[in-house]
Structure 1
Amino acid sequence: MKGPSWSPPQILIVTFVVLILVGAGLLMLPIATTNGISFIDALFTSTSAMTVTGLIVLDTATAFTMFGQVVIMLLIQLGGLGIMTFAVLIYIAVGKKIGLKHRLIIKQALNQSAIGGVVKLAKRLLIFSLIVESIAVVFLSIRWVPEYGWFQGIYASVFHSISAFNNAGFSIWSDSLSGYVIDPAVNIVITLLFIIGGIGFTVVFDMWRTKEFNRLALQTKLMIVGTLVLNTISFLVILLLEFNNPATIADFSTLGKIQASYFQAVTPRTAGFNTLDIGQMEESTLFYMITLMFIGGGSASTAGGIKLTTAMAILLATISFFKNRQHTSIYHRSLSSHIILKALALTIAGMCVVIFTTFVLNLTEDAPFLMILFESVSAFGTVGLSMGLTGDLSLVGKVIIIGTMLIGKLGPLTFAFAFAKQSPDLVKHPEEDILTG
């Protein structure tokens, strides 16, 4: 008698949960912490690392030993590149063929639209990631070895390279990267890491193969233009809003203000590192950062959020509607109605998750609304930035944030497809209009 047949989304969710529990178990070992850790805090930390979020209930620098920090680093690498990417490598190493069901799971994990080429993509993804991280380690070591010595300098370089490329935001320093707010070398290397990691691997590979912009895939064009425009606007907005804030950049030189504003402009798109005290920023800046965290990075990347192309698809569809056009077009290509509906479904689902999380936290936590909303969106977008609420969360609050981080990493649609009963649309009913607007 056959057991229940699990769908790829269900297998992906269960695998993630199992690995999170294994990570929590390792973090509860006496050698992992300096003063012990509760199960809920170990589970929270493991989930935050596996979902590459970066929210912390305990200071990574002081609460965890080097063993504990290495466990966190491995969970980040495993969660960021995707468990299925490593599974592909293991299957190939032992000489096994990758069947259709496994390819479907890889497709789900890498957020691809078709199963063709997913195994090749997974192999390229692993090789590319290790190469980029290794190059970053070299550059960061040049900066940090003279300051911390060989062992600690290289260790810090490896940890932060993995954390940055996977858009995790974990740091082995209590103040994250605030000590390097006006350090050009650290700013450039770290931001390049999480921009490359967050733009989407299919985009990176397409750019590598195709040198002419006009011949790039539409996904690549939208991500390149969208990233450049959004990062530029965000830099200018944060620079202007924080220019005279004495608690952030007011006392910096012009170059210092530019560096700090640039870093904080690109980090909300799920990177999670900070060089400024988030809790001291202007409320208008924080609200703008909430929008960036909700949007997130690119599909098939280490980033979270609803994804930039999702937001752009909705924006383009809205513009087309206002212009009374029947089709949504960009760069001489039309977006299918299925893509528009998927973008809307993903955005609404994401908003529902954030609303639910914010509502519950408002009941369980004694904190201002903006702080709670910021925490909720940060968890959903797997960003890891916080105004200081994470460490003070109640038991219920921690559980809610754990669930939100998991949904944010795997995607609300993955959970919807995993648990919702699929019913094929075999009958088309007569159309009838309703009043809207």
Structure 2
Amino acid sequence: MDIRRYLFLYKMHASRLRNVFNIVAEISISLASLGSLFILLYQFGYSLSPQTTLRLSEYHNHLLLLFFVGISLRYIVQFDKIIRERMLFTDLTIYFLLIGSIFSKIFFTKVMADSLPYLDFFSNRWFTYGLLAVLTIIHSSRQVFTVIQHRIRPSLLFIFSFAFVILTGTGLLMLPNATIHGIHFVDALFTATTSVCVTGLTTVDVATQFTAAGHIIILLLIQVGGIGVMTFTSFFALSFMGETSINSQLILKDMLSEERLGGLFKVVINILFVTLFIEAIGAYLIFQSVSGTLPGGTSEELFYAVFHSVSGFCNAGISTLSGNLNDPLVQTNYWLRIIISGLIIFGGLGFPILFNYIKLLRHVVINSFNIVIGKQKHYIHTPHIINAHSYIVITSTIVLILVGSLSYLFFEYNNTLAGLPTEGKLATALLGGVTPRTPGFNPTNIGMLSPTTLVIMLILMFIGAGPMSTGGGIKVT
């Protein structure tokens, strides 16, 4: 009788208990995320003594436990939603890594060290840093998206998201380890803003004012700003949420300029994949072009390649060299100018255009493969793969590139291009015609350009890039 009574009471209060456990879970995860964020920033932003570092490692253990409690409770009370996650396997993998890290660092440290030495990576501090960072990003994005499910205007959300990233970037750039001799708040704010809004303007010399950590912060700000902060947030949120409200889907539809609600997650995945794929190819080509020419060895050249590939595709125009692309170290590297120009063009077309032509490429490849294996005798044309919008953007872009590059070549032939070899004139003219339309890389000493070239640059700057691209301006359409 007592058991039945308890079951009856449990059923009566089950909903209330679920809500309490859910609140406890979300509070635990929020506290762990905020704590991880502040501790990681403090750890990497300041020079710490060994005693402070040891104390922070103890805080890491507490944060891992807090994450474990919160996530475990969330699995219990939201099981029906979690099993519908798009990346459930990844979520579970991270959870088991969290358990392994807790066992290795807190409960069974000696046992795992003696009996399971091949699992010693669980106690590695860099593994802990990475795990805390991943957990913070995933669950912060998920909780932000939960807030979005309440009625928030897309325009306000867009403004607040950019303002948040800019202010966060400003704080990061003011950390002692981010700069050589410190930086003024206004300069940090301007640098963060120009990175997120990908303008190419700077008030300080990025090469000499910032450390490697500062350059990494700027790189991340450029990447987030170029693709869009809501794209990143949406990826993590949609990946690790079982379901989203209609209101949040409508907001995301507006943010991504999509016509349909269905397939929003696929659009976000495509944006991230295409971006990283093009940037990876660009980084490889840049690395090959600068290999053996920069001081600092392979690691410096590799970072230079990654930074400038992201800066080029995202139309940021920021460089880690004082002279930008006109720096003496890369001044005569004409292949570099061509590669950067290609990245700028791809980034400036816009993701809908890139997806449209990827669809055409896939259609051609499938047709060709079917012809080779004998499945079909001739090419089967599918009409309207390339839509009118794509034709307008591509045509406008080609015209603007030709007009800008040929004008630069004509008016600067006996001025800033004088004395350069033919390939140097052509590469510089190409970059000079492409870069004004938002990235702002320096193909030469801007102060020496002729007045006519400057006027043409002003017009190209006003026009800008394509819609839904990483560039700015009033757009080529």
Q: TM-score range by the shorter chain?
A: 0.5 to 0.7
User: What aligned pairs does 1:137-148 form with structure 2 within 5 A after superposition?
Assistant: 137-148=283-294
**Percent identity of the aligned residues?**
38
1:337-388 deviations in Å (ceiling 9; x for gaps): xxxxxxxxxxxxxxxxxxxxxxxxxxxxxxxxxxxxxxxxxxxxxxxxxxxx
Is this contact kept in 1: 2:200–2:317, CA < 8 A? Answer: yes
Residue 308 of structure 1 aligns to a residue whose secondary structure is: coil
Q: After TM superposition, give the deviation of residue 115 of structure 1 in Å.
A: 4.5
Q: What is the CA RMSD across the aligned residues, in angstroms?
A: 2.1
Aligned to 2:459: 291
Is this contact kept in 1: 2:438–2:473, CA < 8 A? Answer: yes
CA separation in 2, counterparts of 1:289 and 1:118? 37
User: What aligned pairs does 1:55-204 form with structure 2 within 5 A after superposition?
Assistant: 55-112=201-258, 115-148=261-294, 149-179=297-327, 180-204=330-354
Residues 181 and 264 from structure 1, CA distance in 2 versus in 1: closer, same or farther, beyond 3 angstroms? farther
CA separation in 1, counterparts of 2:247 and 2:269? 18
Residues 115 and 158 from structure 1, CA distance in 2 versus in 1: closer, same or farther, beyond 3 angstroms? same
Aligned to 2:408: 238
CA separation in 1, counterparts of 2:254 and 2:289? 39
Q: After TM superposition, give the deviation of residue 191 of structure 1 in Å.
A: 1.1
CA separation in 1, counterparts of 2:260 and 2:307? 34
1:8-41 deviations in Å (ceiling 9; x for gaps): 1101101110111111001111111111111111
Amino acid at match of 1:244: N
Specify every segment of 5 or more residues in structure 1 that has no aligned partner in the other structure, as ranges.
Answer: 310-437
CA separation in 2, counterparts of 1:101 and 1:276? 49
1:184-205 deviations in Å (ceiling 9; x for gaps): 3212221111110110111011
Aligned to 1:228: 398
Q: Which moved more, 1:225-234 or 1:254-263?
A: 254-263
Residues 214 and 108 from structure 1, CA distance in 2 versus in 1: closer, same or farther, beyond 3 angstroms? closer
CA separation in 1, counterparts of 2:462 and 2:265? 30
Is this contact kept in 1: 2:325–2:337, CA < 8 A? Answer: no
CA separation in 2, counterparts of 1:173 and 1:234? 25
Residue 147 of structure 1 aligns to a residue whose secondary structure is: coil
Residues 118 and 299 from structure 1, CA distance in 2 versus in 1: closer, same or farther, beyond 3 angstroms? farther
Aligned to 1:301: 469
Residue 6, structure 1, aligned to residue 174, structure 2: no
Q: After TM superposition, give the deviation of residue 143 of structure 1 in Å.
A: 2.2
1:208-244 deviations in Å (ceiling 9; x for gaps): 1125796411111111111111111111111111112
Aligned to 1:48: 194
Q: Determine which of 275, 278, 298 is the counterpart of 2:446.
A: 278
CA separation in 2, counterparts of 1:41 and 1:104? 37
Q: Determine which of 22, 28, 41 is the counterpart of 2:174.
A: 28
CA separation in 2, counterparts of 1:8 and 1:256? 46
CA separation in 1, counterparts of 2:241 and 2:151? 26
Q: After TM superposition, give the deviation of residue 85 of structure 1 in Å.
A: 1.3
Aligned to 1:210: 360
Aligned to 2:113: none
Amino acid at match of 1:163: S
CA separation in 1, counterparts of 2:475 and 2:341? 18
Name the structure where helix makes up a greater proportion of residues.
Answer: 2
Aligned to 1:385: none
Aligned to 2:422: 254
Residues 102 and 54 from structure 1, CA distance in 2 versus in 1: closer, same or farther, beyond 3 angstroms? farther
Larger relative contact order (CA 8 Å, sep ≥ 6): 1
Residue 268 of structure 1 aligns to a residue whose secondary structure is: helix
Residues 36 and 204 from structure 1, CA distance in 2 versus in 1: closer, same or farther, beyond 3 angstroms? same
CA separation in 1, counterparts of 2:215 and 2:430? 28
TM-score (norm 1): 0.66
CA separation in 1, counterparts of 2:249 and 2:437? 29
- Residue correspondences, number: 306
CA separation in 2, counterparts of 1:269 and 1:103? 32
Q: After TM superposition, give the deviation of residue 100 of structure 1 in Å.
A: 3.0
CA separation in 2, counterparts of 1:116 and 1:295? 33
Is this contact kept in 1: 2:289–2:333, CA < 8 A? Answer: no
Is this contact kept in 1: 2:166–2:193, CA < 8 A? Answer: yes
Q: Which moved more, 1:53-62 or 1:249-258?
A: 249-258
Is this contact kept in 2: 1:9–1:108, CA < 8 A? Answer: no
CA separation in 1, counterparts of 2:387 and 2:179? 47
CA separation in 2, counterparts of 1:183 and 1:99? 52
1:21-73 deviations in Å (ceiling 9; x for gaps): 11100111111111111111111111111111121001100011111111010
TM-score (norm 2): 0.61
Residues 306 and 127 from structure 1, CA distance in 2 versus in 1: closer, same or farther, beyond 3 angstroms? same
CA separation in 1, counterparts of 2:301 and 2:390? 36
CA separation in 2, counterparts of 1:110 and 1:278? 36
Amino acid at match of 1:160: H
Specify every segment of 5 or more residues in structure 2 that has no aligned partner in the other structure, as ranges.
Answer: 1-147, 362-380
Residues 303 and 113 from structure 1, CA distance in 2 versus in 1: closer, same or farther, beyond 3 angstroms? farther
Bigger Cα Rg: 2
CA separation in 1, counterparts of 2:408 and 2:246? 47
CA separation in 2, counterparts of 1:254 and 1:139? 22
Q: After TM superposition, give the deviation of residue 93 of structure 1 in Å.
A: 3.3
Residues 62 and 87 from structure 1, CA distance in 2 versus in 1: closer, same or farther, beyond 3 angstroms? same
1:395-426 deviations in Å (ceiling 9; x for gaps): xxxxxxxxxxxxxxxxxxxxxxxxxxxxxxxx
Q: Which moved more, 1:95-104 or 1:56-65?
A: 95-104
